[in-house]
Amino acid sequence: MPESVHLPGYRWLMFLRNVPVRVGIYTGICLSIVFLLWVVLANRVPLLEPLAMWRNIAAVVILVFFATLPMLRFYRSPGELMVSGLVAWMLLSITYRVLCMVFVLLDEKYSAFHVFVLGAVVYLLGATISWIGTIIWRVRASDISHPHH
């Protein structure tokens, strides 16, 4: 039986075998791309100015959709939900910080740290609700398996 050969630097990519990290990276990349497009369209395309409200609503809906993907994927495992959500939101916060260097008025209300904390709190609440739901589900399952006579 042939032994598997790994390329040099293979160990550097071992973290990608972790599913929550991988989902977080994919989600963070999607969030970053949507946010980048939103900011560029809002500041560099004056033709869309009459449609600003609809552009903003569409961007927020798309961002919320991508932000909920870790919650939908890991709704029964709160630890993995936290890891995935924090990795995704960290990538979005890094993108926000880079965009703050280009668009100087972007961090007038919220700094990149504030954006990260807001997302972390949302994912923490989601993980807490998932944890409580998992406890209730396990208690109900164990109660059903032992009928009372």
Write out the DSSP string of 39-93: HHHHHH-GGGGGGHHHHHHHHHHHHHHHHHHHHHHTTT-HHHHHHHHHHHHHHHH
Q: What is the pLDDT of residue 147?
A: 64
Q: What mean pLDDT is predicted for residues 11-34?
A: 89
Q: What is the pLDDT of residue 96?
A: 98
**Higher local confidence (pLDDT), 85 or 12:** 85
* Band (4; pLDDT cuts 50, 70, 90): confident
pLDDT at 145 over 90: no
Q: What is the pLDDT of residue 28?
A: 98
Please give the structure tokens belonging to residue 105: 């008025």
**Higher local confidence (pLDDT), 85 or 10:** 85
Angle, helices 19-44/78-102, rounded to nearest 10 degrees: 30
**Higher local confidence (pLDDT), 111 or 10:** 111
pLDDT at 146 over 90: no
Q: What mean pLDDT is predicted for residues 13-37?
A: 92
Please give the structure tokens belonging to residue 46: 């004056």
Handedness of CA 68, 69, 73, 77 (dihedral sign): negative
Q: What mean pLDDT is predicted for residues 62-87?
A: 96
DSSP state of 138: H
pLDDT at 149 over 60: no
Q: What is the pLDDT of residue 90?
A: 98
**Higher local confidence (pLDDT), 90 or 14:** 90
In angstroms, the CA 37 to CA 40 distance is: 5
Q: Give the tens place of pLDDT for each residue, 95-105.
A: 999 999 999 99
Cβ-based burial of 126 (10 A; exposed 0-12, middle 13-18, buried ≥19): buried
